[in-house]
Amino acid sequence: MATLADVRRIALSLPGAQELNDHGGNWFNVGTKTFVLYGFPSKRWLFKLPKPRQELLFEARPDVFQPYRAGAMLWSYVDIEALAKDEVESLVTDAWTTIVPKKVWSTYLAARG
C-alpha cells in the first residue's frame, strides 16, 4: 500500500520537481505545471498520465482508476492505497514525463537504466 510519503519521495527525486501546498492539498509540480496532486478538488489523488496509459487503466482497473476532466484536460483519479509502491513509482514517473520536455525525461530515464 502506497502513501503520501511514498509519492513525495518519488516525485521529489525527479529533476525539477517541487511540492506546493495549495487549496489545502499537496501539488507536485515542475515550474507551473502539475503532474500529481492530492486534495483538490476532493480528497483524492489526481495524476496527469499519458492518454494511452489512462485509457488502458480506466478499462482494466476501474476500481482504482477513474477519469477526471478539467476543461480539455483528462486527469486520472487514482486510489494509491490499492497499489504497490513500485506501481505508484511508475505512475508518478509517467505523470512527470507528460509535463517535462522529452530531452529531460529521456536523459533521466536513460541514466536510471
Whose grid coordinates read 515542475?
30
CA 68 to chain centre: 13
Q: pLDDT tens for residues 23-40?
A: 778 999 999 999 999 987
The tens digit of pLDDT for each residue in 72-97 reads: 899 999 999 999 999 999 999 999 99
Q: How far apart are CA 82 and CA 112, in angstroms?
A: 26
C-beta neighbour count of 74 within 10 angstroms: 15
Helix (H, G, I), strand (E, B) or coil at 94: helix
**DSSP summary character for residue 39:** S
pTM: 0.92
